[in-house]
Each structure stands twice: as C-alpha cells, then as structure tokens.
Amino acid sequence: MRVKVKNLTKRFGEVIAVNSLTAEFESGKLIALLGPSGCGKTTMLNMLSGILPVTEGQIFFDEKDVTDLTPDKREVGLVFQNYALYPHMTVLENICFPLKIKKVSKAERIERAKEFAKMVHIEEYLNRKPKELSGGQQQRVAIARALVKNPKLLLLDEPLSNLDAKLRVEMREEIRRIQRESGVTTFFVTHDQEEASAISDYIMLMKLGEMQQYDKTRNLYNQPANLFVADFIGSPTINQLHGVYTKGGIKVDGDNQIIKTNHKWQVEEGSRVVLASRAEAITFNDKDDIKTKVVESYLSGKDTLVNLKIGSYNLRGYIDATKPIKIGDNLNIGFKTEGVFLFDELTGERYYE
C-alpha cells in the first residue's frame, strides 16, 4: 500500500514536533524514518498509526484519506522498542491474540500464527513464555504478532535498540528478509544512520520536525540535499573544509592555497562555503598538488586511513597501506569529482553545477 502525507503537522503546545511534511511513500518498500533525538520520528510514526491525532494536514493510504480514522480501522501492525508482549501468554497465544480480538476461528488463528512463527524463525518456541526468550526472539514474536493480522502497513519504532551490537546486526538483516517476504510497506524508526543505510530502500531524514531529504537510501550518501544530510549520513563523517570562494576555488581558513576541483559550481566570489568530501574522494596521485600534513594514520583493511591537516581543518582519506606514511609528513592530495560537494556555510544549502 502506498502512503501519502500532505502538510502533516503536529504541535504540542509551543513545540512543533512535525512541521508541514509532504511526501509520498512507494508501496512494498522499507522506509527508514531517521534523524537525531527529538526530530519528530516517533511523532510521525504515531500519526501514521493513528495513536496521535494530527494537528493539521492529511494522511492517505492509497487514495483513501485516513486522517480521522482510529488505529483499529487503519489496519496497521505496530512493533515497539520494548516488544510489549503479554507476559502471561505463550508465544503462540501472543501471536494469536490480534486474531482472537478479530474473532477469527481458533483453528485458523493457530494455522496463521504458526505460518508467521515460521517466517520469523521462532516455530520451536511456541509454548514458551516471553521471559524464557532472548531479546532477539522476543522481537521476532512481536513482529509475527504485528504481521499475523495481514496489516497494510508495518510500523517499527526503534525495534532493535534493546539488543546488543551483534544481535542488532543479525536482527536488522532478519527484518529486511521478513519485510521482503511479507511485502508489507514498512516504516522503521531509528537514529542510527548505519542501521538505516543497511536495511532500507528509502530514507526520510528529519531535523527539528522538518524533512531534510526523502530519497533512495544511496542517494542520501551520493547526492545529499544539504550539509546536514551530508554530515549525518556516512562513516567516517564527511570531511568539511570551511573557507571563502575566491578566484574559482576555495581558500580554506588558515591556509593560503586556493583549492580547485573539477566542478563548475555557481557561486559568487567572496561567499563563505563548506567544501565537503567523502574520505574515498581524496586522491594521492603524483600530479596532485594540494598541500597537507599527516596528523595521524590508522590501518583500515587494505588501506591506511590518514588524518590530514589543511589550514584550520582536518580531513581523512584512504591511502594504499603499502605506502610508508609518518606523522608530520607533507602529503599532496586531490579531489575526485564524485563524493565532493559545496555548501553555503550559513544555510547549509548545496551549490549545484
């Protein structure tokens, strides 16, 4: 099912938790709602489920306006961070419960519950109580319970944050698999950009209630809409050199060189800008002529991650680990075309060519 929101707004008194958000979400995809704490992710999810009434705007499921429908009428499956399983019920009873409410016959409830228990790989534990399961297993039960009603929409609110690091990675792959197998349009709230990038088809990145970019996951990395997006997505964090645009290049603060790249950005002379570059966009070829100094270096697989000083700033790049590097060395660098962006320092808006 396709989801559309139009000027969606939620205010709590003075606080604008979600500010006039308009977007259309494709059917059958896994969409991450991503952003720092307090940016409005959970509020957005709760408006989609119907738990929270909207202040302004509309929500459409396919062509139907569901803005004023109660949660039970929206046919959504919800999974929370704390699983919220019924402790006195077995796994089977937990999964069956939504069907019992819907007055589905006992035989059919059990058949469907077993089908979903199998999908989430917990069919061996049907007779256990939640406290006899690990965190990851409890989360699987919660997902099966949400899916058993054949919801049109699956909403997951930080579903992995109570799990340890290794299990988190395992479970995110499981969520991806389950979502693909079930084909249900799924929203997944997280503040972890790596988690969002690893599993989602699309990411909506938010800041202070406002959408920064809604796009295919790889586009947030390759084509960030603004400096906030460029900075939030990616590890190591994107390099950022602040300076002045002058004579067709960037004069970085604290440095006398004018850095020229292959780009033809439309920038006014004298503008304060930020030259941002992914670590893998830094080159170390013989003809490269931008002077830097090595501050630190770390082994990173077959490469060395070097931390370089240029003017008042540091930047990181990957260099072949066979090249001998010492702290204090002078090292010339260049910039590739891809993975290099220019932003307005004040507004964070991107300059295009």
Residues at the site binding ligand ATP, with contacts judged by CB under 6 A: 12, 15, 17, 35, 37-43, 191
Q: Find residue 300's DSSP bridge partners.
A: 303
253 CB-near residues (< 8 Å, 6+ apart): 242, 243, 311, 312, 313
Minimum distance from CB of 210 to ligand ATP (Å)?
11
Reading the block at residue 82, the tokens are 């704390």
Nearer to ligand ATP, 43 or 240 (CB): 43
Nearer to ligand ATP, 42 or 185 (CB): 42
Q: What are phi and psi of 195, to 5 degrees?
A: -65, -45
Minimum distance from CB of 213 to ligand ATP (Å)?
16
Minimum distance from CB of 10 to ligand ATP (Å)?
8
| Cα–Cα dist 25/325, whole Å | 48
Nearer to ligand ATP, 96 or 204 (CB): 204
Minimum distance from CB of 41 to ligand ATP (Å)?
4
| Cα–Cα dist 279/282, whole Å | 6
Nearer to ligand ATP, 128 or 191 (CB): 191
Minimum distance from CB of 169 to ligand ATP (Å)?
20
CB 45 within 8 A of CB 121: no
Whether omega for the bond prior to residue 159 falls within 30 degrees of 0, making it cis, is no
Minimum distance from CB of 273 to ligand ATP (Å)?
30
Nearer to ligand ATP, 10 or 242 (CB): 10
**Cβ count within 10 A of residue 61:** 19
Reading the block at residue 331, the tokens are 């090292």
The sign of the CA dihedral 295, 298, 300, 302 is positive
**Cβ count within 10 A of residue 133:** 18
Minimum distance from CB of 345 to ligand ATP (Å)?
26
CB 334 within 8 A of CB 287: yes
Reading the block at residue 143, the tokens are 């997902």
Nearer to ligand ATP, 38 or 71 (CB): 38
Reading the block at residue 118, the tokens are 């199998």
Residue with tokens 């295919």: 216
Nearer to ligand ATP, 93 or 158 (CB): 158
